[in-house]
Structure 1
């Protein structure tokens, strides 16, 4: 088992990560049905890729497959105003309280929320609150959605490295999320509280798209970039997508509670309950 982990870490991290990720971006845009069909067949040898839920189409490129939409109705969104839903399909990673500005990427591997956000004052609203790490594997649905009716107030883009974000790397690379390319999306819920979604890119993730700003964030776009925003989103509305598997970390202030059963290893789908809002907030 340890040998397998060592091999996985070497193959996905001890490579020219940025160069390989940029190359993947170029490959994913090759428009050829034959090439795309062969690439998807190869992809399926290594993952549990299931395209049966996708809108039926013949993919012209790998990018179209990575960013595929789902057939309507397959991800019902919990409508209760007191519920904050999962913004994506994911496997739950580390989660828990934010204590003294510290959160966890894995057991024994803490990091400072201020380092992740890029500025200490942006992490301050979440002191005493909670965080949940949501990992999207390469075969999952790659679009992410609003967890509640809200206004997107501000987006920060921080360029960085592209370490793999799988559990093997999280146990070996300190402050991994703070090193990687990421965006910080600040949202004010209709009920009042401010939350943050932090999409973190990883090796082979060629870009992050945010619809509210009509911007494509990628390694060739060095940050930081500060982007004020004033975009209203409804609960469950699509906010953007990754071009491969990655991670979204959700931060909420004090008073929010994790829904029963939300713990590391749990698989969750977009629209399912993730947390409950503070009493009196709705």
Structure 2
């Protein structure tokens, strides 16, 4: 048995939510000497680059969570053309969605319906589209931004386990991203529907959005919220953040012309991932531009 498989297997019996709550309490600790120790140890271990942070002094943060969700200096992440990465991280998988199936890792696939909360009508527009998965490592910038300008239509909280989401676990836990607790945000864009799925993970204390604040953890039931009053976020604008950990899965209802980026390459928030043709209204029907 490989080390990666053993790492994945030992997570099954662990009390995921209890561990995450305990770590979350430590991450909110405001005792100066303790939070300084925690932050400094984290910076050393993960080689975090503080030069790009708006506040580069680790001691200036009130708690670990404030440090972890730190802002960056203006223009630290230029916004590129086309579809851009919503976060710093590793582009672990991307490509077409065939018959509602996404690729998690080599030899591992899962369904768009399960990822988006089990509603086949919500998943239907994305069954023959495209997807991209970005894994945020502990050292990365953990605010999530809009890859396109979009208007929020629906938010769905989906309860679940919170396995680690690193590559070792993705290789060995079937349907990982559809098992873990997650927040599904459905947007309308000029390129058609877009789903941004913020996936929770081991020791992720919470997921926040700019329009609703902290979302997880909630109850053990799927919770669906629709937005009649428009909430429109511009491309490159912050839409949420992770308090520790995790992964963003982007889903589109149309084919993305992805850049030639090697799988498992590092990407930066704002980096161009590809192009999507715009939608046009022709005689009351929707068609592609170009």
Q: CA RMSD in A?
A: 2.0
Instruction: Give, in whole Å, the separation in 1 of the partners of 2:186 and 2:201.
Output: 21
After TM superposition, the structure 1 = structure 2 runs for residues 138-149 of structure 1, keeping only pairs within 5 Å, are: 138-149=138-149
Aligned match for 1:59, one of 58, 61, 72: 61
**How many Å apart are 1:220 and its aligned residue?**
4.2
1:162 and 2:162 correspond: yes
Task: Mark the runs of 5 or more structure 2 residues left unpaired by the alignment.
Answer: 279-287
Q: Is the 8 A contact 2:192 2:254 kept in 1?
A: no
Distance 2:63 2:242 in 1: 15
- Once the 2 structures are TM-superposed, how far is the Cα of residue 215 of structure 1 from its aligned partner? 3.0
Task: Please say if 1:219 is aligned against 2:217.
Answer: yes
Cα distance 1:281–1:63, how it changes in 2: closer, same or farther (>3 A)?
farther
**Counterpart for residue 136 of structure 2:** 136
TM-score by length of 1: 0.91
User: Displacement, 1:7?
Assistant: 6.0
TM-score by length of 2: 0.89
Does structure 2 retain, via aligned residues, the 8 Å contact 1:127–1:254? no
Corresponding residue for 1:76? 78
**Relative to structure 2, which stretch is displaced further, 179-188 or 272-281?**
272-281
CA shift, 1:221, in A, is 3.9
Q: How many Å separate the matches in 2 of 1:215 and 1:66? A: 16
Q: Does 1:41 align with 2:40?
A: yes
SS across alignment from 1:169: helix
**Which residues of structure 1 form unaligned runs of 5+?**
none
Change over 3 Å in CA distance of 1:7–1:61 after alignment to 2:
farther
Residue 228 (1) aligns with residue 226 (2): yes
- The answer as to whether partners of 2:254 and 2:276 remain within 8 angstroms in 1 is no
Q: How do residues 66-215 of structure 1 correspond to structure 2 at under 5 angstroms?
A: 66-78=68-80, 80=81, 83-118=82-117, 119-189=119-189, 191-212=190-211, 214-215=212-213
Pairwise CA distance, 1:152:
1.1
